[in-house]
Amino acid sequence: YEFLKRDDPLARGYVGFARGLGIEYFEQLTSERREEVATRGGRKVFRWTVRKGLANEALDTTNYAEAAATLKGWTRWNDSDWELLIAERDAPPDAVGTQLDLEHQLLAARPPTPSRPAAETPPASKADPLDRLA
């Protein structure tokens, strides 16, 4: 929940939200709380538990996204790493058809396919069918 407190959009971990998400999204985002629980042996541990009656899919997907960013190394990137990525993504495609190659293939003129010659039927045998029995 620490990231939700950050006000600076350039700070590591800042979370920005689109307008119009609605109260249900934010209830899901804050649906878990850290509680002290006793184990069978009587030892006290802390666990995250979902508050009754609340879904937590928004929190789960946020946590998955943070884990994926950490695994990809994005959480350790500096400003120059991000600027390189932005420059790469903003650059025009190298050649026609590379950006939207599927659409390009669909719209490109197709070369005509050669037509197959009609299959020839063997000429009817004029021999007497009884000749085969000889």
Q: Would you list the domain boundaries of the chain?
A: 2-91
In 3D space, the residue among 80, 75, 78 whose CA is nearest the CA of residue 3 turns out to be: 75
**34, 25 contact by CB (below 8 A):** no
pTM: 0.56
Find the length of the chain: 134
Break the chain down into helix, strand, coil percent, rounded to 5. Answer: 40, 10, 50
Confidence band for 121, pLDDT divided at 50, 70 and 90? low
Q: Is 59 exposed, middle or buried (0-12, 13-18, 19+ CB in 10 A)?
A: buried
Angle, vertex CA 131, rays to CA 128 and CA 132, nearest 5: 115
- Report pLDDT digits (tens) over 30-70: 999 999 999 999 999 999 999 999 999 999 999 999 999 99
**pLDDT for res 69:** 92
**pLDDT for res 93:** 67
